[in-house]
């Protein structure tokens, strides 16, 4: 995963495109997931957002670090912050993707949350 820092627009600094709002989605990924599994999860999330009208996506990903408390039995997690402009309908579709289990696969995603900026 790329650990470089990316400049993220502050609220009001850059207006969102017409019909869109700025959102931030934070993901906690399993610390024991391989690099390719984490990358595949991010590709899936970005594809879902793009398919639902998201633009100007910025992703900040960090290697597994300690969490404040155990999340689903894990005391470490890989943190990912995705900042994007999207229509309000994109976030519920993304959350549905997160909550739909994949049969026969260990979930890479431990926890997620989205905020409108």
At 96-111, the pLDDT tens digits run: 999 987 776 778 999 9
How does the average pLDDT of the chain come out, rounded? 88
Tell me: the pLDDT tens digits for 12-33? 568 888 999 999 999 999 999 9
Higher pLDDT, 114 or 7: 114
Residue 79 token pair: 């943190």
pLDDT confidence of residue 12: 53
Domain formed by 21-116, architecture: 2-Layer Sandwich (3.30)
**All structural domains of the chain with their residue ranges:** 21-116
Q: Tell me what pLDDT residue 15 has.
A: 87
User: In the prediction, which pLDDT does 102 show?
Assistant: 74
pLDDT, position 65: 95
pLDDT category, 53, cuts 50, 70, 90? very high
């Amino acid at each position: 995963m790329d650990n470089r820092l990316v400049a993220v627009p502050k609220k009001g600094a850059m207006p969102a495109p017409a019909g869109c709002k700025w959102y931030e989605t934070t993901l906690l990924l399993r610390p024991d997931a391989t690099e390719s599994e984490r990358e595949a999860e991010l590709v899936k999330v970005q594809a879902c957002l793009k398919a639902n009208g998201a633009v100007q996506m910025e992703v900040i990903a960090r290697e597994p670090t300690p969490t404040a408390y155990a999340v689903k039995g894990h005391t470490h997690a890989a943190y990912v912050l995705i900042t994007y402009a999207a229509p309000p309908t994109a976030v519920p579709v993304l959350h549905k993707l997160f909550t739909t289990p994949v049969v026969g696969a260990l979930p890479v995603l431990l926890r997620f949350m989205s905020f409108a900026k």
